């Protein structure tokens, strides 16, 4: 049998009581798995924030970027180190063979982009040997080491990515991500009480769900799992048992999903701002010029619409970004007014993006029509539309967010009976 | 010029304000030292206790010794890791080049006696190169790594030992131990208000002072300094400046002390218990038998007196140990009664040991007489006496501790004028 990888986030290891519960789950898993177990842990809830606060205050506002990030990693990675030692002890208390593994010990080699490093390799060696020898490996998530033997961290939420990387390196049967919800839902259950847990979802759909605001899994971890063909199962760490095959949500290859839904889920995001650049003097290359400026300032642009205004010499350029980045975008464009001529710039933060996602769209027509009909029926005006192969997103007035999500959930037949 | 090593304990790095003060001291030191600087730091005060509590509770009472110690080291060493990152950032804020060094990065190789490891080697390599290249090295104290690439810790107070080991490896000019007092005193200033700070003290004297209850320096660090000829300076981290040559107390070779005192200091310890084994059936080898039993039970014995009782066939055997070990000693001896015959065993915890220490004793006579006269004058009865080349210790009723220390401090001319 192949190894199983289990990952527990901050709320699942928040205190010693929760760590003991995790140890119980691992103990039960060990009884049914004879291919070895690796457990990836986050810092105890609140600990990372405390450490980030210490590092930020020690450095002061003047020390940023590369001058800050390497030592930030030294300070912040200690949180996962502590949890890994504690869980190893809690497992030994249950009579199990276990030991902690820190990023530098495995070693989990990353690039040297401290604070947001990318995993390059997990060296094949004693870590793999220990797991296959039956010793439970408790891995400090979120951390690695650079070629230069400095500690690196993967950025917030990086423990999911650590877990998938470990699963790939071990050729694991599955990577089980234990979290505070019991799976991935067709939409946010806080908005739609009849939201249903999805049993199986494809990597592509999960990627769209994750990047569109469903916060269950980190986007990078899904990408990595897709690239290495590692099945991820999302399940609740509050359950009494590690769960049978059919608990939680399995994120897997499209081929392994028997009954494909046309639409698998509805996602939404309120963290959107619409920026309208009105009366832009239009000439070839103007769009490239605008978005190059924004890209240089590290501003992520999402939806884009360009339309003629008052004849072909003038255009209105409408795009969306995060609320946070919108002020910066305005100042960048105003600062470029010698180069980019326009009449006015208008920011609207009172917008939401609502998306329907499903691999079935590839082979089904009429998905967009269903969406537009459902929204129109509720009197919801669509401001911007963007589509990909497996999703359709619309920008709407944010007052209508819940109404839109509920209407679409019903329209695509996703409501639980 | 040779490098300078500076070490700061837990109270000196208790919070960000204190860490900033340490950074100020290091900055000033950097202005006058061009041979490089290494700074060794402890965990922030209270942090080690918090981490020890977590590890102990995670393991529960059943997991002890080797099953506990390796993961204990993983958890507890994170405290110094955090401080080293924070101080490196605080130094960069002052425009200095600095980076943290963890035990595994230097690497500081230790044996695998987790929780109380001994340093074997600091490999000659990039650590030394970084220091001589002018980058301030902020070293996480108290930690190393084993040959097997596990984290080890040196035991409580081990940061002093780390500092001396780093000083030895760098061939440092001096190892400055910053603490919450401004030096080593002729005796405890809380008892004798006229106690004087000692300007220079020999390694041998400091070893006696440390092992006899003066808690300024860890005994192991003094031994290591003596073996490698590293001068230690003890000084206050609360001062505004790193201090000139003559601040604090220099612990150095006897030869470097011009004016040798006959007696350098008076030490005392209240953590003593006197055990009297009365009417022991005396035959050759009985003493060896008694102390072999106690040694097997890991009980440290200090002073020993044997005297005939009721003729040569019976003896009284009196010895001292710590209060903590005294109960165990009694039960060990009572358990051995088939082998070791005696009439009665009496424990007296109401005793203190008072010692006078000085390398000058070697060449001066009458030191003991001065001691006995001074105590007798105050009506203090001496229960047990033990001597070494450079110290005389007496056991007395603990009610007289302060009186005895004050009388001896005056008798040897140590009172500040």
DSSP for A360-382, please give it: GGGT-S-HHHHHHHHHHHTTPPP
Task: Identify the weakest region by mean pLDDT among A123-127, A207-211, A261-265, A398-402.
Answer: A207-211
User: Model ipTM?
Assistant: 0.85
**What's the rounded Cα separation, in Å, for the pair A384 and A382?**
6
With bands split at pLDDT 50, 70 and 90, how would you rate the model's confidence at A214?
A: low
> How far from each other are the two terminal CA atoms of chain A, in whole angstroms?
38
B336 touches chain A (CB under 8 A): no
Model confidence at A240, in pLDDT bands (50, 70, 90)? confident
Contact B140, B102 (CB under 8 A): yes
The beta-carbon neighbor of A82 closest among B78, B85, B150 is B78
At B325-368, the pLDDT tens digits run 999 999 999 999 888 999 999 999 999 999 999 988 888 888 99
Mean pLDDT of A315-321: 91
Position A124 scores a pLDDT of: 85
What is the set of domains in chain A, with CATH numbers? 4-254 (3.40.1160.10), 266-411 (3.30.2130.10)
Q: Is B87 on the interface with A (CB under 8 A)?
A: yes
Instruction: Report residue B417's pLDDT band, with 50, 70 and 90 as the boundaries.
Output: confident
Residue from B86, B87, B139, B140 to probe the interface with A (highest A Cβ count within 10 Å): B86
Q: Please identify which residue in the block is written with the tokens 């500040």.
A: B416
Average pLDDT for residues A217-243, to the nearest whole number? 90
Give the mean pLDDT of A207-220. Answer: 80
Please tell me the distance in Å from A345's CA to the nearest CA on chain B: 39
Q: What per-residue confidence (pLDDT) applies to B307? A: 81
Distance from the A292 Cα atom to the nearest Cα atom in chain B, whole angstroms: 34
Instruction: Look at residue B175 in the predicted model and tell me its pLDDT.
Output: 96
Question: Do A71 and B62 make contact, defined as CB atoms within 8 angstroms?
Answer: no
Nearest to B68 among A63, A75, A89 (CB): A89
Q: Is the pLDDT of residue A279 over 70?
A: yes
- Cis preceding-peptide flag for B107 (omega within 30 of 0): yes
pLDDT tens-digit profile of B35-75?
999 999 999 999 999 999 999 999 999 898 899 999 999 99
- Average pLDDT value over all residues in chain B: 92
**Of the partner residues B57, B67, B89, the one whose CB lies closest to the CB of residue A16:** B57
Percent of the residues in chain B that have a pLDDT greater than 90, as a whole number: 74
CB pairs under 8 A between A and B: 117
Q: Taking 90 as the threshold, does the pLDDT of residue A46 lie above it?
A: yes
Reply yes or no on whether the pLDDT at B247 is more than 90: no
- What's the pLDDT at A52? 95
Query: In this predicted model, what pLDDT tens digit does every residue of A80-138 receive, in sequence order?
Result: 999 999 999 999 999 999 999 999 999 999 999 999 999 999 988 999 999 999 999 99
CB contact under 8 A, A74 and B88: yes
Q: Do residues B202 and B362 touch, judged by C-beta distance below 8 A?
A: no
**Would residue B183 be called left, alpha or beta, if left means φ above 0 and alpha means ψ between -120 and 50 degrees?**
left
- Residue A39 to residue A139: CA distance in whole angstroms: 6
Please say if the pLDDT value at position B375 is more than 80.
Answer: yes
Please state, in angstroms and rounded to a whole number, the distance separating the CA atoms of residues B25 and B233. 15
Confidence band, pLDDT 50/70/90 cuts, at residue B159? very high
Chain A CB contacts of B87 below 8 Å = 58
Nearest CA-CA distance, residue B226 and chain A, Å: 33
Cβ contacts (< 8 Å) between A74 and chain B: which residues?
81-82, 84-85, 88, 100, 102
Of the pLDDT bands very low, low, confident and very high (cuts 50, 70, 90), residue B398 is: very high
Write the secondary structure of chain B as one string of H (helix), E (strand) and C (coil).
CCCEEEEECHHHHCCHHHHHHHHHHHHHHHHHCCCCEEEEECCCCCHHHHHHHHHHHHHCCCCCCHHHHHHHHHHHCHHHHHHHHHHHHHHHHCCCCEEEECCCCCCEEECCCCCCCCEEEECCCHHHHHHHCCCEEEEECCEEECCCCCEEECCCCHHHHHHHHHHHHHCCCEEEEEECCCCCECCCCCCCCCCCECCEEEHHHHHHHHHCCCCCCCHHHHHHHHHHCCCEEEEECCCCCCCCCCCCEEEECHHHCCCCCCCCEEEEEEEEEEEEEEEEECCCCHHHHHHHHHHHCCCCCCCEEEEECCCCCEEEEEEEECHHHHHHHHHHHHHCCCCCCCCEEEEEEEEEEEEEECHHHHCCCCHHHHHHHHHHHCCCCCCEEEEECCEEEEEEEHHHHHHHHHHHHHHCCCCCC
pTM comes to 0.87
Greater confidence (A383 vs B239) lies with A383
Percent over 90 (pLDDT), chain A:
74
pLDDT > 70? residue A213:
no
Structure confidence at residue B55 (pLDDT): 97
């Amino acid at each position: 049998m192949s190894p199983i990888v289990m990952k527990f986030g901050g709320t699942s290891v928040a205190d010693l009581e929760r760590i003991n519960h995790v140890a119980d789950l691992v103990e039960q898993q060990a009884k049914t798995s004879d291919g070895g177990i690796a457990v990836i842990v986050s810092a105890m809830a609140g600990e990372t924030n405390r450490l980030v606060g210490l590092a930020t205050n020690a450095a002061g506002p003047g020390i940023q970027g590369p001058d800050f990030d390497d030592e930030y990693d030294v300070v912040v990675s200690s949180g996962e180190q502590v949890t890994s030692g504690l869980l190893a002890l809690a497992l030994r208390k249950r009579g199990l063979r276990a030991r902690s593994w820190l990023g530098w010990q495995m070693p989990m080699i990353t690039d040297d982009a401290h604070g947001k490093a990318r995993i390059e390799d997990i060296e094949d060696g004693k870590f793999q040997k220990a797991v296959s020898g039956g010793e439970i490996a408790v891995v400090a998530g979120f951390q690695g080491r650079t070629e230069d033997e400095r500690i690196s961290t993967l950025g917030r939420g990086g423990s999911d990515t650590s877990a998938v990387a470990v699963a790939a390196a071990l050729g694991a049967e599955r990577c089980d991500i234990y979290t505070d919800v019991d799976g991935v839902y067709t939409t946010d259950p806080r908005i739609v009480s009849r939201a249903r847990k999805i049993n199986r979802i494809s990597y592509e759909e999960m990627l769209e769900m994750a990047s569109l605001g469903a916060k269950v899994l980190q986007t990078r971890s899904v990408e990595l799992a897709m690239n290495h063909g590692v099945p991820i199962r999302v399940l609740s760490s509050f359950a009494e048992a590690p769960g049978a095959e059919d608990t939680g949500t399995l994120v897997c290859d499209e081929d392994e999903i028997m009954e494909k839904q046309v639409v698998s889920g509805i996602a939404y995001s309120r963290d959107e701002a619409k920026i309208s650049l009105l009366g832009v003097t239009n000439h070839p290359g103007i769009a490239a010029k605008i978005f190059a400026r924004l890209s240089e300032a590290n501003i992520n642009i999402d939806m884009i619409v360009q339309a003629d205004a008052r004849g072909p010499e003038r255009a209105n350029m409408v795009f969306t970004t995060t609320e946070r980045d919108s002020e910066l975008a305005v100042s960048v464009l105003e600062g470029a007014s010698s180069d980019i001529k326009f009449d006015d710039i208008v920011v609207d933060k009172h917008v939401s993006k609502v998306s329907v996602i499903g691999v079935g769209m590839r082979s089904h027509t009429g998905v967009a029509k269903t969406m537009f009909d459902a929204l129109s029926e509720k009197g919801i005006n669509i401001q911007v539309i963007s589509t990909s192969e497996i999703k359709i997103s619309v920008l709407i007035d944010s007052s209508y967010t819940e109404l839109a999500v509920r209407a679409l959930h019903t329209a695509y037949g996703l409501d639980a009976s």
